[in-house]
């Protein structure tokens, strides 16, 4: 009934007397041996009472573990946030630094691009203008002249071209020095520009020569007025290094279309008229006329053109291979002179060599050829190109020059070419012209180590004794005998020439081989080497090097 009433009878039961409980407690404990043992036992029991048991204890342990995990997670999160903050700071710093570098690089790239453009413009300007005076060069003048001709043809106008040359400029150079000469050229250039229209072109042609282009003029009177103005302006005194200098001006005038329909013809006729002005007393002008086409005037103009070619490096060398007939290997090269004359393409020696010899220009031209040939041969040898020899033709005028031997020595020393790679070629007539001089000179060349060849053998009037007396290494049979081998007499003559050269123990080269038949004939008759279009045409430096590399593999 008490349970039904919701009461616990044990809680309502009367408590046992204190003594009985104490007695029961004492009876349940073992008697300790000592007082300390008793205290220890009582402490253990109290600890057991305080220690949770059952589900409550397990919950507390679990709670402690959870708290530890939470604390650990919080520490990990805190560390992660710290690392994240440090990483972001480092990345921000890196990105900022990279952005600064990118900005600097962009600025530098822009500066470099602008500098490159300025350099390109400067190089283009330098290519089209004279460095001393700043005037347009010959190439730019030619372009403008061609454009003016086209416009004049379209509009029915005329074009005037004036060729100018300073009178006795060399005297000023020699007496006052080249620096003063340059200052005078600059002063003249300024006065010429100040005396013409903005649409006109004043160009320095080289040295003390200038060219003035007057596009769209009505007639020759306009050119005459300009020429008079130029002579007056240039003729006034120039202050050069504190000294007053006066100089005259000779002018030649040509007109389009009266005197020519292309740039080259107008230049040539203006040049002829200028020399006529010089012949007429200088410091004047002359208009071209048909009567000026006399041989003397044209010849003088051509001589001056050759001088300009030397000054302006208009000469180039081509190389024709000498080929071993049995193996096809290239054993050497013969040097051939070409003139890249402005507006006329390549000019061959037959077109200018006579004028060069009569004017004495053959000496400086020949010296240039020898130096350039030795320099190129040395360059090929340094590149490993198998070159047996480089052959240079020497005229009688060059060989007779008392300075010829000293020039050869100086050029060999200057270029560093071993003398055994150089072969000097001369015609029969040149060798036999003055035997007392020729023999010692040839012996001097041999002592240097230079090889000697007789060119165009069989065409001269020399006696056969020179083959025995002169220190000759190679005989080159003239192409006329090579071309005639198809005839019976031609074969007999060629065979006789071969036998004659063998008899004196000379090396033989057949010149002008142009067909397979000619090649086979001389190969059959044991001619060692040959030259000619069939074996190889004259070619540029690059083409010859490529062919020699192909034919003579290392």
DSSP 8-state secondary structure symbol assigned to residue 449: T
User: CA 203 to CA 130: how far, in whole Å?
Assistant: 8
Helix axes of 435-448 and 404-415: crossing angle, nearest 10 degrees: 20
**Backbone dihedral angles phi then psi of residue 119, each to the nearest 5 degrees:** -65, -45
CA torsion sign, 10 to 11 to 15 to 16? positive
- Is residue 145 within 8 A of residue 260, CB to CB? The reply is no
Residue with tokens 């074009």: 159
The top-level CATH class assigned to 310-551 is alpha beta
The token pair at 344 is 């006329």
CA distance 267 to 139: 13
State the pairing for strand pair 243-245/238-240. antiparallel
SS3 state at 212: strand
Nearest residue to 338 via CA among 295, 378, 297, 368: 368
d(CA 91, CA 97): 10
- The pLDDT score that the predictor gives to residue 9 is 43
Is the Cβ–Cβ distance between 163 and 273 less than 8 Å? yes
Q: Residue 170: how many CA atoms within 13 Å on its side-chain side?
A: 0
The CA distances from residue 91 to 79, 101, 491, in Å, are: 18, 15, 93
pLDDT at 23: 46
pLDDT score of 543: 94
Domain extents in the chain: 77-128, 138-288, 310-551
What six digits make up the tokens of 475? 């005989």
Q: How many whole angstroms separate alpha carbon 320 and alpha carbon 336?
A: 7
Place of tokens 């010692």: 440
DSSP state of 32: P
Task: Give the separation between CA 272 and CA 265, rounded to whole angstroms.
Answer: 11
Q: Which CATH homologous superfamily contains domain 138-288?
A: Reverse transcriptase/Diguanylate cyclase domain (3.30.70.270)
- Residues with pLDDT less than 70, the chain: 1-60, 122, 294-296, 342-343, 460-466, 554
Three-class DSSP category at 30: coil
* CB-based contact 215:159 (threshold 8 Å): yes
How many CB atoms neighbour CB 416 within 10 A? 12
- Percentage, residues of the chain above pLDDT 70: 86
Distance (Å, whole) CA 82 – CA 80: 5
Global pTM value: 0.60
**Which stretches does DSSP call E strand in 73-191?**
158-166
Q: Smallest Cα–Cα separation from 342: which of 375, 298, 311?
A: 311
Look at residue 134 and give its three-state secondary structure.
Answer: coil
Q: Would you say 462 and 432 are in contact if contact means Cβ atoms under 8 Å apart?
A: yes
Does 310-551 match 138-288 at the fold level?
no
pLDDT of residue 370: 96
416: left (phi over 0), alpha (psi -120 to 50) or beta: left
Residue count of the chain, please give it. 554
The answer to whether the beta carbons of residues 372 and 336 sit under 8 Å apart is no
């Amino acid at each position: 009934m008490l349970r039904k009433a919701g009461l616990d009878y044990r809680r309502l039961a009367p408590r046992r007397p204190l003594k009985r409980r104490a007695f029961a407690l004492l009876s349940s404990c073992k008697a300790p041996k000592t007082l300390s043992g008793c205290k220890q036992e009582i402490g253990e029991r109290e600890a057991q009472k305080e220690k949770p048991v059952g589900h409550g204890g397990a919950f507390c342990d679990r709670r402690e573990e959870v708290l530890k995990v939470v604390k650990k997670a919080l520490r990990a999160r805190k560390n992660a946030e710290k690392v994240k903050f440090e990483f972001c700071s480092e990345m921000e710093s890196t990105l900022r630094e990279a952005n600064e570098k990118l900005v600097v690089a962009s600025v530098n790239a822009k500066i470099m691009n602008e500098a490159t453009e300025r350099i390109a413009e400067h190089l283009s300007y330098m290519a089209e203008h004279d460095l001393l005076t700043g005037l347009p060069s010959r190439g730019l003048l030619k372009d403008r002249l061609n454009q003016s001709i086209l416009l004049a043809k379209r509009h029915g106008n005329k074009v005037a071209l004036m060729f100018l040359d300073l009178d006795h400029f060399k005297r000023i150079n020699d007496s006052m020095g080249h620096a003063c000469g340059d200052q005078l050229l600059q002063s003249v250039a300024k006065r010429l520009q100040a005396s013409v229209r903005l649409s006109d072109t004043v160009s320095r042609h080289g040295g003390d020569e200038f060219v003035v282009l007057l596009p769209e003029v009505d007639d020759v009177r306009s050119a005459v007025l300009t020429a008079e103005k130029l002579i007056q302006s240039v003729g006034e005194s120039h202050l050069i290094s504190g000294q007053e200098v006066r100089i005259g001006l000779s002018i030649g005038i040509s007109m389009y279309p009266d005197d020519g329909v292309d740039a080259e013809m107008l230049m040539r006729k203006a040049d002829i008229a200028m020399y006529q002005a010089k012949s007429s007393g200088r410091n004047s002008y002359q208009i071209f006329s048909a009567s000026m086409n006399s041989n003397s005037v044209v010849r003088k103009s051509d001589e001056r053109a050759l001088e300009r070619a030397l000054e302006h490096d208009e000469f180039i060398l081509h190389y024709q291979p000498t080929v071993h007939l049995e193996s096809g290997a290239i054993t050497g090269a013969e040097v051939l002179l070409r003139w890249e004359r402005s507006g006329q393409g390549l000019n061959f020696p037959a077109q200018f060599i006579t004028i060069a010899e009569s004017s004495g220009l053959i000496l400086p031209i020949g010296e240039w050829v020898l130096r350039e040939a030795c320099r190129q041969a040395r360059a090929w040898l340094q590149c490993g190109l198998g070159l047996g020899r480089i052959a240079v033709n020497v005229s009688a005028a060059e060989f007779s020059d008392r300075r010829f031997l000293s020039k050869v020595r100086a050029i060999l020393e200057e270029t560093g070419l071993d003398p055994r790679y150089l072969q000097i070629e001369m015609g029969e007539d040149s060798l036999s012209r003055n035997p007392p001089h020729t023999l010692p000179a040839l012996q001097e060349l041999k002592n240097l180590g230079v090889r000697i060849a007789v060119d165009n053998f069989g065409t001269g009037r020399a006696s056969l004794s020179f083959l025995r007396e002169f220190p000759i290494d190679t005989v080159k049979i003239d192409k006329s005998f090579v071309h005639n081998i198809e005839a019976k007499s031609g074969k007999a003559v060629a065979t006789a020439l071969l036998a004659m050269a063998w008899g004196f123990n000379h090396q033989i080269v057949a010149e002008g081989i142009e067909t397979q038949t000619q090649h086979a004939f001389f190969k059959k008759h044991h001619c060692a080497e040959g030259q000619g279009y069939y074996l190889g045409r004259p070619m540029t430096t690059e083409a010859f090097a490529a062919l020699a590399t192909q034919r003579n593999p290392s």
